[in-house]
Amino acid sequence: MNSNEVTRFLESFFAALGKPETSLRETDTEPLFKILASLKQSLPLSIPLLRELSALGTGRPPNRKAEVLEKRLWRIHLRMCRVQEELSRLDLKKAAAGVSPEDFIFSSIDFSRYRKIEEFYFESLFLEGPDDFDEVFLKRSFGSGKAGLKSLIRGSYKKNEGFYEIQKETPLLLSVMRNLETSLESGDLFTAEEIKKELKALLDFTGGGKSGKIFLPGAEKLFSLLALSLDGACFTHPDGMETKLFISEQGKLSGTFHPAGKAWTRVLIAQNIL
């Protein structure tokens, strides 16, 4: 299918999606996913989320490398595992008289674990970890955004025989590492802005964006439609544990994780997508 045919399909698809009587739950996403899946990987086109969602919707090929969403879910799972591990060891009865629970918990943190970190764990959780959090949250918490924190982490560790070893230990660095490992305040699994950006890239590539058709009727519903397509999706993490996504009664994309074999459910997209 050539670029003009892709543009015409998208115009037709979004025109139908934009009709007031169109139900998101009844919209057939298979034609859209087939079109996206047919786009060659070698094309100079950066649409990783659309590609991954289309792969999930059309059946993932075997031995495919983990992509954006799977990596984000894996990092959430790792944080939950770490929090679960710490909760299982915490005994507030051992706190000295007059010591608040918050101070006792802080005094129990083992910051030495960040001096030498196993390669797979470090690369899975910390190198891309800042991407999981809102820019405003990071700047408010650490005085720096995603790019700055990534630079701080990369410049503070050196890879050595399967491990990353800290080169200069600072309170800021330890605080960043601690939050990236245990904070459950990460943002949405993916955002409307990310989808809009990729849709514009796709339309610009095919020629459809040159006439301003990024605002195709119904295009504003694409984010919700894609989130809804993940209802029932199941992901198996590198440690063998599974996470299943679903749409809650409140219309939010949620996921049930199993850190240490215990079921934890959390909202993955905060807005009501229905």
Q: pLDDT digit string (tens) for 198-248? A: 998 888 888 765 555 555 678 889 999 999 999 999 999 999 999 999 999
Residue 269 CB contacts under 8 Å (≥ 6 apart), including other chains: 188, 189, 190, 227, 252, 253
Q: Which residues contact 240 (CB under 8 A, 6 or more apart)?
A: none
Residue 149 domain-assigned (yes or no): yes
Q: Tell me whether residue 259 is in a domain.
A: no
**Distant-in-sequence, close-in-space partners of 152: CB < 8 Å, separation ≥ 6:** 144, 172, 173, 176
The reported pLDDT for the residue numbered 133 is 95
- Structural domain containing residue 222: 3-66+191-230
DSSP reduced 3-state for 59 = coil
Please check whether residue 93 lies inside any domain of the structure.
Answer: yes
- In angstroms, rounded to a whole number, what is the distance separating the alpha carbons of residues 203 and 212? 9
Look at residue 81 and tell me if it is in a domain: yes
How distant is the alpha carbon of residue 141 from its chain centre?
20
- Same-domain pairing of 104 and 116: yes
Domain check: are 23 and 84 in the same one?
Answer: no
Residues 81 and 54 in one domain: no
Q: Which residues contact 146 (CB under 8 A, 6 or more apart)?
A: 130, 131, 133, 135, 138
Q: Half-sphere exposure of residue 57, counting CA atoms within 13 Å on the CB side?
A: 23
pLDDT at 1: 66
**Residues 62 and 72 placed together within one structural domain of the fold:** no
pLDDT at 250: 93
3-state helix, strand, coil in the chain (%, to 5): 55, 10, 35
Q: Which residues pair with 253 in a beta bridge?
A: 247, 269
Residue 127 lies in a domain: yes
Which pLDDT score, from 0 to 100, does residue 110 have? 82
Q: What pLDDT does residue 105 have?
A: 59
If asked whether residues 197 and 162 sit together in one domain, one would say no
Residue 216 is assigned to a structural domain of this protein: yes
Q: For residue 236, is it within any domain?
A: no
What is the Cα–Cα distance from 228 to 69, expressed in whole angstroms?
A: 14
Q: Say whether both 138 and 87 belong to one domain.
A: yes
Q: What percent of the chain has pLDDT over 90?
A: 61
133 φ, ψ to 5°? -115, 150
- Kindly give the residue spans of alpha helices, DSSP state H, lying in the chain: 3-17, 30-38, 48-58, 68-89, 101-107, 119-125, 135-142, 146-156, 171-182, 192-206, 222-228
Asked if 134 and 91 sit in the same domain, the reply is yes
Q: Are residues 61 and 76 in the same domain?
A: no
Same domain (yes/no): 102, 118: yes
Predicted pLDDT at 139: 94
The number of distinct structural domains making up the chain is: 2
pTM across the whole model:
0.89
Residues of the chain with pLDDT under 70: 1, 59-66, 90-108, 208-216
Q: What is the pLDDT of residue 4?
A: 80
62/74 same-domain check: no
Judgement on whether residues 45 and 12 belong to the same structural domain of the protein: yes
Q: What is the pLDDT of residue 60?
A: 63
Judgement on whether residues 86 and 143 belong to the same structural domain of the protein: yes
Inside any domain, residue 249: no
**CA 146, CA 152: separation in Å to the nearest integer?**
10
Cα 198 to chain centroid, rounded:
16
- Which of 182, 201, 220 is where one domain is finished? 182
For 8, the token pair is 């015409």
Calculate the CA 273 to chain-centre distance: 17
